[in-house]
């Protein structure tokens, strides 16, 4: 049983009605399972959420607490991210699929650099000043396959910027699906061509994960509900439709699980505040790390209560909507070394330095914000048809997909969404494997 996961970055519950009116995602909702109230994790940042999507765990176990490690003395443009697969501290779907003898592919999926268990790997990684973007991708990913893809399809790529990057990634994903051998007669081609045994033995990867970033980039640049963002949603639907069409053309839908999942929403920015600079100017023994509409407060001497008192005393001045205590952060499944965090008032973002905010919208809010509700589509022979799931948690996705695909995630904290599965079909597939 093949598994495809398509991530739609910065798509959320407020987009559901419009997306269901579009051809591809509307059809998937009608023919499979759909949920428009998927509670994402805290914090609502891309890298921690994507780690949860493939592990079924919260940050307290998988260890990805932010897009970037805490680097207070490093210039923002030179900061590294959680790029490497080794940064995730628990088993992923990729690891477990590899252990079961299945091939994996990941395209722009966060935290997959140097992934030992991904055969076709185009990692999401950014070049720092002085580095070459293409060479860095080759160094962290599957160099031979990436070079082959570049030679075949590079001339069709307009640029590495959005929306062109998503178009290129979708093109390459389609090429991986096309690896699956289909007799020429079924594709309407000449029947007298006899393919080699090697070609007949080819197949698409058993687990394929794709991260589409167009909507996130567009919303950051133009605003959450801008006309440009609406066009980005239409482009995402077209890309999903293109891949579903390729699967159908090669008669693969009957043996393929397709999960389309989003990670978080966005909200428009009205003001910014350099919280870390304020803490230093007022000699508070702590440093702030921006989350966007929130911030971690890293204690420098373990003085928890005095810092908490300062934040509460200056709550109005700092436009703090809520202070997360260590007990609240533990309840949100955060790692124990993080003891304090703050959430800003609506529209205000915290920045690490006195700097102009380079976007009109962002995320990083807490679980009570409407932008913390993501979306989920599940389709395939193991899933119910036309089912509207009332609600679920984003950590439920991985164990559910694992159960449907015959894999095991021993440390997953989410539950299997049993109500979505046709268990007779799941059991039958397991017996066949």
For 299-324, the pLDDT digits (tens) are 998 789 999 999 999 999 999 999 99
User: What is the pLDDT at residue 63?
Assistant: 98
pLDDT score of 433: 47
Nearest-angstrom CA–CA distance, 211 and 189: 32
Class of domain 2-266+369-432: alpha beta
Q: How far is CA 8 from the centre of its chain?
A: 7
Determine which helix (DSSP H) or strand (DSSP E) holds 400, and give its type and residue range.
helix 397-405
CA distance 217 to 427: 41
Q: What is the pTM of this model?
A: 0.94
Asked, colleague to colleague, whether 2-266+369-432 and 270-358 share their fold, the answer is no
Query: Is the model's pLDDT at 423 over the cut of 70?
Result: no
Asked whether residue 187 carries a pLDDT value surpassing 80, the answer given is no
Cβ 300 vs Cβ 311: under 8 Å: no
230-260 tens-digit pLDDT: 999 999 999 999 999 999 999 999 999 999 9
**Percent with pLDDT over 70 in the chain:** 92
CATH code that applies to domain 270-358: 3.30.1360
User: How far is C-alpha 320 from the chain's CA centre?
Assistant: 28
SS3 string, 151-202, reads HHHHHHCCCCCCCHHHHHHHHHHHHHHHCCCCCHHHHCCCCCCCCCHHHHCC
Domain boundaries along the sequence of the chain: 2-266+369-432, 270-358
Under a CB-based contact definition with an 8 Å cutoff, are residues 364 and 23 in contact? Answer: no
Cα(3)–Cα(16) distance, integer angstroms: 23
**pLDDT tens-digit profile of 126-139?**
999 999 999 999 99
């Amino acid at each position: 049983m093949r598994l495809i996961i398509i991530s739609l970055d910065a798509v959320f519950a407020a987009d559901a009605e419009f997306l269901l009116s579009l051809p591809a995602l509307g059809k998937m909702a009608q023919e499979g399972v759909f949920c428009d109230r998927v509670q994402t994790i805290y914090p609502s940042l891309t890298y921690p959420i994507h780690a949860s999507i493939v592990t079924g765990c919260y940050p307290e176990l998988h260890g990805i607490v932010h897009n970037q490690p805490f680097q207070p003395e490093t210039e923002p443009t030179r900061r590294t991210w959680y790029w490497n697969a080794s940064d995730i501290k628990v088993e992923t779907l990729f690891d477990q699929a590899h252990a079961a003898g299945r091939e994996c592919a990941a395209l722009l999926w966060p935290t997959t650099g140097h992934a030992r268990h991904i055969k076709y790997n185009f990692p999401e990684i950014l070049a720092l000043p002085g580095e070459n973007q293409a060479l860095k991708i080759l160094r962290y990913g599957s160099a031979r396959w990436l070079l082959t893809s570049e030679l075949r399809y590079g001339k069709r790529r307009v640029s590495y910027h959005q929306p062109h990057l998503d178009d290129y990634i979708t093109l390459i994903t389609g090429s991986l699906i096309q690896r699956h051998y289909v007799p020429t007669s079924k594709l309407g081609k000449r029947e007298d061509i006899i393919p080699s045994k090697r070609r007949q033995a080819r197949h698409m990867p058993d687990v394929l994960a794709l991260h589409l970033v167009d909507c996130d980039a567009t919303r950051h640049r133009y605003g959450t509900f801008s006309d440009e963002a609406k066009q980005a949603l239409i482009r995402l639907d077209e890309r999903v439709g293109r891949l579903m069409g390729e699967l159908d053309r090669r008669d693969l839908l009957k043996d393929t699980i397709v999960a389309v999942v989003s990670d978080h929403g966005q909200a428009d920015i009205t003001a910014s505040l350099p919280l870390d600079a304020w803490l230093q100017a007022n000699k508070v023994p702590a440093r702030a790390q921006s989350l966007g509409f929130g911030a971690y407060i890293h204690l420098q001497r373990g003085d928890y209560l005095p810092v908490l008192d300062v934040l509460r005393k200056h709550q109005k001045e700092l436009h703090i909507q809520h202070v997360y205590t260590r007990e609240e952060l533990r309840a949100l499944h955060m790692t124990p070394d993080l003891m304090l965090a703050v959430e800003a008032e609506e529209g205000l973002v915290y920045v690490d330095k006195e700097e102009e905010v380079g976007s009109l919208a962002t995320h990083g809010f807490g679980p009570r914000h409407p932008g913390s509700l993501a979306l989920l589509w599940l389709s395939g022979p193991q899933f119910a048809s036309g089912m509207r799931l009332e609600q679920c948690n984003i950590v439920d996705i991985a164990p559910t997909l694992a159960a449907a695909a015959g894999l095991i995630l021993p440390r997953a904290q989410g539950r299997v969404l049993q109500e979505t599965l046709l268990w007779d079909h799941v059991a039958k597939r397991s017996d066949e494997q």
